[in-house]
Structure 1
């Protein structure tokens, strides 16, 4: 459930849309199902209203999202930075979807902040930064896709939600709620899903396209992570896994291959908090998940330069993998409530 969409903000957006010539929809680094789903849904909606708009993300998205209509139109900033920069400079209206802090778009950050375009935030994360002119920021929403749905509804355009928009919204909600099982799911969200089904979405097809599209390498990577890289801290009800660059190279890593791995240890009886440490270039990327009242958002923001939601958050570390794991275990030893 999210608060009623702010109609004053809706009016501001409608006024800007009336004169906008070049609309750009942006999403965060390492875009996931919600980032891509909400962005494509908004793009299709705006095009249905007669607007010229494009979607841009900093880097590639997982291949299990390729089936969504419009993914072939998504501009990958890192693939052609010069052309992407021109598009950023020419935009007069920029949507910022599924992120609430400009650092989340990495190399696109400088151009985003320097742009004189009107910026519109649509997001559901905690503690939004003050960098947008129009804001639809509701941390009680289960996903950014859910907010996009309510925004379309607030403009009396639910009838414009066709199958391609519905599939994109459904994908965003489904992937950001662990297939509708997280606490963020509410009766109202199930009503949104029901409306999408009425508008033509075939639910089992979406599930099959997203979750039954793993490569053999990814399946073997998951097996390796759970058998060779799983550490269980039984006395603290915590488990974590770690993957080095060599591990990723061994299994021919592709963007999205580690998606969902962090959730696996939560299936172990008694485990309340799970973490995944993934080695990148000069950085350790961290994913956290928890159940109940344990806030991994606090853990991520206080110790690992990150943030997110109470039960799902991310962070990063500039220490080595071994140093990062040691730091994590020391923090867990002193963490109360586990």
Structure 2
């Protein structure tokens, strides 16, 4: 990302660059501000638990607002800590306009090493194993983190030579309409300053309840599975098969529902052999449904589809118990919390 930030500084007129990095061992946030004249400031700030959200709330967004409000520069290139999620900054700026009224997100750019795309997007390394954590106990995988960056970005800048499989993975993950660029050469500075970030579109694409069709990768060694059903998963069978469902060199995300929690949107997200499930929101006026999108490079697409299908309620189970079960628990409380009171179908 350093190379991309430097290139943008030269390509864009009157730019100030802000780089934030986190030292998890010292629980320290380091802020560096510079422009074409040189270093303007370098500050170290104590951040409890090296929390990214705290850093964004307490210094990153306030710094962007301070620099934007000064009127000294036409644009800011903000380089976040390596594994910090850009969507967190965008959500604060876009969702809380009073916090940073002078800041407008023109574009979100993720810079990747083209030579390691497959490992970075669907491999099984942890961020701690790559010396990339934002805190010492950071449990995240590199693949889930990097994949989410690609999915949210307006521009994916690839530095180096990408092989066919890696490029196909990026194309399958990236939001339709986003730019995949060789370095920063494909980025139009004028268009970038004018603004290429559409916040609602970016949020819709990464939402667990996204309804947009997936992009076919166009390569024989990368596959997609868009699993859809109006039926819920059986909580017991899901619990029994969750390790199998989350394994493999794959990126997987989406939503599902359960007869024990019929009003609740359950979120499904994982990559590189790691899978997490949790709660997202209520369905409200949306019809409950199950949609799991998987992009993979390994064998087993058909087996995975069969395993997902086997978790759905059967005709017999629906006929006998309905789609709303009144039970004290479903075995998924460690991930989804306690079962709320559920009324049986009248």
TM-score between both structures, scaled by the size of structure 1: 0.29
Q: Which has the higher helix share?
A: 1
Bigger radius of gyration among the two: 2
